[in-house]
Structure 1
Amino acid sequence: MSTDTSTGTGTSTGTDADQSWRGIAAGEADAIDSADRIRFTGGSGQLLRELLRPYRRAIWILVAVVVVENAARLAIPYLVKVGIDSGIPPIRESDDLGPLGIVVALVLGATVVQAITRQIFLVRSGRIGQDLLYQLRRRVFRHFQRLSPAFHDDYTSGRIISRQTSDIDAIYEMLETGFDGLVTAFLTLVGTAVILMFLDVKLGLLALLCGPFLFWITAWFRRESAKSYRVARERVALLIVHFVESMGGIRAVQAFRREPRDLEIFDVLNDDNRRANLVAFRLVAWFMPGVRLIGNITIAAVLVYGGYLAYQGEVTVGVLAAFLLYLRRFFEPMMEISQFFNTFQSASAALEKLAGVLRVEPSVPEPATPVPLAHRRGGLTFEQVRFSYVDGRDVLPGLDLDIPGGQTVALVGTTGAGKTTLAKLATRFYDPTSGRVLLDGVDLRDLASDDLRSSVVMVTQENFLFTGSIADNIRFGRPGASDADVEAAARALGAHDLIMALPDGYATQVANRGGRLSAGQRQLVAFARAFLADPEVLILDEATSSLDVPSERLVQHALRTVLAGRTAVIIAHRLSTVEIADRVLVMAHGDVVEDGTPADLVAGGEGHFSDLHRAWLDSLA
């Protein structure tokens, strides 16, 4: 492609772009792999044992079923040998079909046993595999929910999707085909080797001379496939990450005409994924013909030497026929092993990543002994709170602040002053580096998460809506709420008429993240959700930024009633929103530099808030 990075048209060569983005992709892959390896070392085996532990008895039953199935399968060539050597001569001598009939009946019986045991295995293994994947998906999902926002800030949504989709699918593929293939291959190889030696030692030793060659080519394939499949997992993860980010930000992509450049990046990552998988296919293309070549040479050698021994009368024709049939079965499992290595290496890489995620501890852990909230008044206290997102760079250098229960406080200040950080600490999305945040005298680190979430709710400017109806989204704050409660919350915010004007009223489906609603409508639904939850502390982080003037007036009118008797922390740049506050805190560099009522701070005539108020009045004029 020939595109320019700024406009999507230009003259830069596709080769240069490919090389540039391939280098970036490789760097990102190395970074992801480095981070994952630090977390995942030694965890995949433990995870696999934990997953299989509840099914130990069922797995042993499956092993027994596979043993019976393979015994029946391995018996058939030996029965052919018996039929040739012991069943045919009586027919030629006295037309006696009895011995051959018995052999044929035994072959049919072995075939029936093999079919029945195979059916039992498939049904039971399928049930175990689906139950195990159900538990694993549930476990991973719950763990992602437990992890704090600090983790999700670093761990992209594309990587999360990759863990729950392609990684789980890789494990499913191993469970579906890998276990059966490995056990069958092992039993076939061991069983066939023993039977060959039992039939004839000389031919058996000749046949087993291929063993070192098979061992070498299998060890080579296992080593190289492990490398290739690790790279393949990294490449597909990068591809998913870019796809999710591009589709998640599709409006920005289209607004800035980014489609050609995003497609160019996608093509590079997609090509890297293709190349990584081609390496794996090339390995299989060398391994499988190699095994087949060794097998055919061995069969040819046994046929020549066995023919000579049969001619000399040292072995029977039946033994030679059985040998050739068993040799075919001896080399077939090697193909199964190659497929098993493919699925095993892919599943092993997936298990490493899943194990690493599951080993990550939440940065805001549950207290070992939760302290109950005896009196819920909504008082917030910050005692010498220090916090930093990056070591050595404090956002809050040592904040002391007391917000009495029932007070409405507005936080104002420039971007980066620490307002949103204060809100995140109050909701315990993060824990302070030092100091304490107290709710009604209890350290947030000592509160059970259920108590904290029911007492403190934050509404942000993101106003995220989930798939479902508007009523479902409002009820999200209190799942057991009735339709009347939902409507009452909407009426309190002045949102009822807006909702009823929609095609299906409260049953209107919000579609993808509320795409069918305007920004103001989405914000009102998010407000109603928080109000229905009825927390003691309500934090509004730029929550009215998406509202137009009429909607904002409706919300401000409702807020005066809804916030009465409730602690509220309002972070806003719009001074029209700040006016309803009992108290205004002006923050700068993580400290409170002004503190007072809106009227007192304006009346002072000096200071940051007074300047903001003057600028706001000038803008209205």
Structure 2
Amino acid sequence: MTTAVSGQPAPDGGDERLGASVPPHAEGAPAPSRAPSSGDAFDQDVLPAPKGASRTLLLSLLRPHRGRVRIAAVLLLLQQAAMQAGPLLVALAIDRAVPAFRADDYGPLAVVGAAYVLCSLASGVLQYAFIRASARVSQDVLLDLRGRIFRHAQALSVDFHERYTSGRLISRATTDVESLRELLNEGLEELLGVCLSVVYICALLVYLDWGLGAAAVLSFWPLYLLVRSFQRRSMLIYRKRSTAIAAVIVKFAETMNGIRPVQAFRRERPNDTEFRRLNHHHERVNGDAILEMARYVVSSRLVANVALAAIVVWGAYRVAGGGLALGVLAAAALYLRRLYDPIDRLGMFLNSYQSAAASLEKIAGLLAQTPSVPEPAEPKSLPTRDSRRPGREVVFEGVNFAYRTGGEVLPRFDLTLPAGRTTAVVGSTGAGKSTLAKLLARFYDPTTGRVLLDGVDLRDLAGPDLRRGVVMVTQEAFLFSGTVADNIAIGSPDATREDIERAAKAIGAHDFITALPDGYDTDVRKRGGRISAGQRQLVAFARALLADPGVLILDEATSSLDIPGERAVQRAMHTVLRGRTAVVIAHRLSTVEIADRVLVMAGGRVTEDGSPDELIAGRGAFASLHQAWRDSLV
């Protein structure tokens, strides 16, 4: 809703606007949230999710790819077996092949050498095959997840989007999905590789010498404690990091989307200060994550090196005493090095895992949200429109409404809008006009009562039927990137070019469209920035006319236009309203003149009801406003 800036005239001089200018949020919409303090600014994007929702989400993403996951697992098993055969072959070479070679028997050394080469080649080929298979699975999973987020965000109701900013949605679909990509592409290979190598190596060490195997297993206890400690601390840090980057994205998106008022009101410096604060917080949290990783790596390497040194010294003592073969000690030293080296890689995996877990938790919380205006379990159909009775009848039956943020906007009321009639709804900002329109469009459901369309409760209508039956044209006619023709055809995707041009001609938009560089094929660019506000509104009317709804809602469709633009739009309104039930939310009295009926609202109630002439002849608020408007024109 557009209101005059304090101390400045409204775009049209302010003479025709009904009611005093008050904060925009008073018009039934939730009040804007306060500026976040340093203590709570970074936790506002956390959405509740059922326990175990993250695990359930991940399993549901992997379930369609079970076959390929099994193939990837087999490839990794074989690759690890080929790779871990190396030290065992070294032991055979030292203890058997070299003594045989000294005795002029070259066969064992040749066999061991050939086996070593073959195992190395097999390990490389199998690792390539595993990476290829797992990469395909991970990309398909990420493709599915991004699609789920996008589809679910579109399906969620308007009240959710008023509470949860688009910047946070973007963060969920980009930064958080990217964290999961790192886990799937790199982390899972690290985890599975480490786990398999530990199992293989411990088994081989026990096979070579049970004492060395037992010592290696026991040395893992302090390493396990380190991993658990790192996991607990890093999870908290990564949750904060995910929230911090979301706050940065939200601020950036908000500033770029509002760049005109930012520059008009010289908000660059305050915005820069706030962005610097958010960016520094993200830097600090990121630094904490790096330091935590550094502590883990240093501690794990220290424990691993001490354990390795102790076991090798003990093994050397046994070799000197004849209780252990030299080749077995050499193989054990190689295996122990391989056993402890992945501990660093395990830390990298945990790094990716904690980041992905925090991100997956937030994505799961988003996907767990349900629309506040759900689809009906058993949808009903609207009666076929009677060509002899244009439009559809609208009935508000015992309707009461309050937003989640609190405060009753519409006290209980009853209202009937006859089919084929145009009803203008006027009143000061905050009177409940737009809320009434949003209930009719079913952007919200009433707290109590029903809204009926030709006797059918809106809650019983499937979404497509409702959108075909009721169309809203808002104050800011939103155009999507694409051609003019594409934007007109949004309400009727199957329309032909002839249908599109016929609708544009009926509205009076054909001439300006054909004057564009590429006519109907001209790209209007972001939000229709290539054409004027009045032209965007005409395109929106052509879109509504082509959709041919039974009920049309015009929410302040002329309030932001200049006089020539307003007149062009008003001419188009006569065409688009003909033969339909119409609700016109009006802030200008010139818009009201086309209505059959006028409702004056105050405090969520209808205080005056009648034709424009009847109300002008009376002594109510509408008559006073009309007289003030007439005086301003003299």
Shorter-chain TM-score bucket reads: over 0.9
Alignment of 1:21-100 (within 5 A): 24-33=37-46, 36=47, 38-39=48-49, 41-94=51-104, 96-100=105-109
Instruction: Report the equivalent of 1:8.
Output: none
Pair 1:253-2:262 in alignment: yes
2:518 matched to 1:508? Answer: no
In structure 2, what residue type is equivalent to 1:381? V
One-letter amino acid matched to 2:632: S
Instruction: Give the alignment partner of residue 173 of structure 1, picking from 182, 187, 191.
Output: 182
TM-score (norm 2): 0.91
Tell me if 1:325 matches 2:334. yes
Could you tell me whether the CA contact under 8 Å between 2:421 and 2:596 is conserved in 1? Answer: yes
2:41 is paired with a residue whose SS is helix
- Which structure dedicates a bigger proportion of its chain to helix? 1
Percent identity between matched residues is: 52
Q: What is the 5 A alignment of 1:107-506?
A: 107-376=116-385, 377-390=391-404, 393-506=407-520
- Aligned partners of 1:228, 1:378: CA distance in 2, in Å? 57
Deviation at 1:201, TM superposition (A): 2.7
The one-letter amino acid paired with 1:201 is W
| Aligned-residue offset at 1:382 | 0.6
Name the aligned partner's letter for residue 434 of structure 2.
Answer: T
Change (3 A) 1:585 1:205: same
CA-CA distance at 1:208 after TM superposition: 3.7
User: For structure 1, which segment, 419-428 or 136-145, has the greater mean C-alpha deviation from structure 2 after superposition?
Assistant: 136-145
Q: 1:550 aligns with which of 564, 571, 594?
A: 564
- Equivalent pair of 2:91/2:328 in contact (CA under 8 Å): yes
Map of 2:13 onto structure 1: none
The alpha carbon displacement at 1:392 in A equals 6.0
Deviates more, 1:207-216 or 1:573-582: 207-216
Corresponding residue for residue 10 of structure 1: none
Distance 2:334 2:379 in 1: 69
Is the CA contact 1:25–1:238 (under 8 Å) kept in the aligned structure 2?
Answer: no
Q: Distance in 2 between matches of 1:71 and 1:56?
A: 23
What is the rounded CA distance, in whole Å, between the counterparts of 2:214 and 2:457 in structure 1?
Answer: 76
- Residue by residue over 1:110-163, the C-alpha shift from the partner in whole angstroms, topping out at 9 and shown as x without a partner, is 122212221221111111111111111111111111111011110111111111
Identify the structure with bigger relative contact order (alpha carbons < 8 Å, sequence gap 6+). Answer: 2
Q: 1:390 to 1:132 in 2, by over 3 A?
A: closer
3-state secondary structure, aligned to 1:365: coil
Q: Check 1:391–1:298 CA distance in 2 against 1; reply closer, same or farther (3 A cut).
A: closer
Unpaired stretches in structure 2, ≥5 consecutive residues: 1-33, 386-390
Measured in 2, the distance between the counterparts of 1:600 and 1:295 equals 92
CA contact (8 A) 2:541 2:576 kept: no
Give the Cα–Cα distance (whole angstroms) in 2 for the partners of residues 40 and 353 of structure 1. Answer: 12
- 1:599 alignment partner, SS class: helix
**8 Å contact from structure 1 (residues 493, 554) kept in 2:** no
Q: Structure 1 length normalisation: TM-score? A: 0.93
**Which 10-residue stretch deviates more, 537-546 or 112-121?**
112-121
User: 1:309–1:315: 8 Å Cα contact kept in structure 2?
Assistant: yes
> Helix, strand or coil for the counterpart of 1:476?
helix
Q: Secondary structure at the match of 2:558?
A: coil
| Paired residue type of 2:583 | V
Residue 23 of structure 1: CA displacement?
7.9
Q: Distance in 2 between matches of 1:508 and 1:26?
A: 49
Q: Does 1:523 align with 2:530?
A: no
In structure 2, the CA distance between the partners of 1:29 and 1:340, relative to structure 1 (3 Å rule), is same
Query: Equivalent residue for 2:4?
Result: none
Query: CA offset at residue 40 of structure 1?
Result: 5.1
For 1:237 and 1:290, the matched residues in 2 are separated by 32
Structure 1 counterpart of 2:6: none
Give 1:209 deviation, angstroms.
4.0
Q: Which residue in 2 is equivalent to 1:616?
A: 629
Gaps of 5+ in 1: 1-20
Query: Do the aligned residues in 2 keep the contact of 1:41 with 1:352 (CA within 8 Å)?
Result: no
Deviation of the 1:481 alpha carbon: 1.5
Could you tell me how far apart the structure 2 residues matched to 1:288 and 1:538 are? Answer: 65
Q: CA deviation at 1:428?
A: 0.5
Which string of whole-angstrom CA distances, capped at 9 and with x for unpartnered residues, describes residues 461-500 of structure 1?
1211111122211111212222222222222221222222
* Cα distance in 2, alignment partners of residues 527 and 357 from structure 1: 35
Where does 1:532-611 land on structure 2 (aligned, <5 Å)? 532-604=546-618, 606-611=619-624
Partner residue, 2:30: none
Determine the C-alpha separation between the residues in 1 that align with 2:35 and 2:630: 53
Contact 2:425 2:598 in 1 (8 A): yes
Q: CA deviation at 1:202?
A: 3.0
Aligned-pair distance for 1:552?
2.0
- Counterpart amino acid of residue 518 in structure 1: S
SS of the equivalent of 2:553 reads strand
Cα deviations by residue, 1:569-608 (Å, 9 ceiling, x for unpaired): 111111111111111111111222211111222123x112
Q: Give, in whole Å, the separation in 2 of the partners of 1:589 and 1:23.
A: 30
State the distance in 1 between where 2:537 and 2:603 align. Answer: 29
The one-letter amino acid paired with 2:330 is A
Q: Residue 523 of structure 1: CA displacement? A: 1.8
Q: Which residue number in structure 2 is paired with residue 14 of structure 1?
A: none
2:578 maps to a residue whose letter is A
Code of the aligned partner of 1:348: A
Distance in 2 (alpha carbons) for counterparts of 1:459 and 1:562? 11
* Secondary structure at 1:24 match in 2: coil
Count of aligned positions: 596
Matching residue's letter, 1:555? V
1: CA distance, partners of 2:405 / 2:143: 39
Asked if 2 retains the 8 angstrom alpha-carbon contact of 1:22 and 1:272, the reply is: no
Contact residue 45 and residue 168 of structure 2 kept, 8 A:
no
SS at match of 2:153: helix
Shift of 1:543: 0.9
Contact kept in structure 2, 1:375 and 1:440, CA below 8 Å = no
Letter in 2 for 1:419: K
Between the aligned partners of 1:417 and 1:518, the Cα distance in structure 2 is 30
Q: Name the stretch that deviates more: 363-372 or 135-144.
A: 135-144
Change (3 A) 1:570 1:142: same
In 2, Cα distance between the equivalents of 1:23 and 1:331? 46
